[in-house]
């Protein structure tokens, strides 16, 4: 592109966007006098995002809202949180607790633990679907 075409393009862009900046400067985005933003009702508050990082031996390494973790048997873990998680969503993935290498690939799933309202059952397997111990990261979202 020649220098004159570059200058012409730059001037065209400035001219095209100048009216928009004038509208913003004139209060185009300013709410009308007396306007109040909607406020959340008390019943709409109270969501929680909790987490747990668990080693292959069932040790709770760190987390937010997690109380404990344990290994039941090979590839089977329980993670307990400080509140009822029966109406929450779970996301779990294989992942180490530190920056020391990458865990072996595999399969992982999470489900609420039967009869335990504050616990999540996590199952880990190798790439051939055999139960094995794997480190994992668990995120729990509990809405309103």
Q: What is the pTM of this model?
A: 0.67
Quote the pLDDT of residue 33: 73
Quote the pLDDT of residue 134: 95
Domain ranges within the chain, ordered by starting residue: 42-142
Q: Closest Cα to residue 103, out of 58, 70, 135?
A: 135
Quick one: tokens of 81? 């949180």
Distance CA 119, CA 112 (A): 6
| Residues 77/69, Cβ–Cβ less than 8 Å | yes
Quote the pLDDT of residue 39: 63
pLDDT tens digits for 50-81?
A: 999 999 999 999 999 999 999 999 999 999 99
Which residues does the chain have with pLDDT short of 70? 1-32, 35-46
């Amino acid at each position: 592109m020649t220098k004159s075409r570059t200058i012409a393009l730059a001037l065209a862009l400035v001219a095209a966007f100048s009216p928009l900046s004038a509208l913003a400067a004139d209060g185009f985005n300013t709410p009308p006098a007396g306007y109040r933003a909607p406020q959340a009702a008390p019943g709409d508050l109270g969501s929680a995002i909790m987490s747990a990082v668990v080693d292959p031996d069932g040790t709770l390494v760190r987390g937010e809202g997690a109380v404990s973790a344990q290994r039941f048997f090979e590839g089977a873990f329980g993670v307990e949180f400080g509140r009822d998680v029966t109406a929450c969503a779970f996301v779990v993935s294989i992942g180490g607790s530190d920056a020391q290498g990458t865990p072996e690939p595999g399969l992982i799933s999470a489900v609420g633990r039967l009869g335990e309202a504050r616990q999540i059952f996590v199952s880990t397997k190798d790439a051939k679907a055999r139960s094995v111990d794997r480190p994992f990261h668990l995120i729990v979202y509990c809405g309103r």
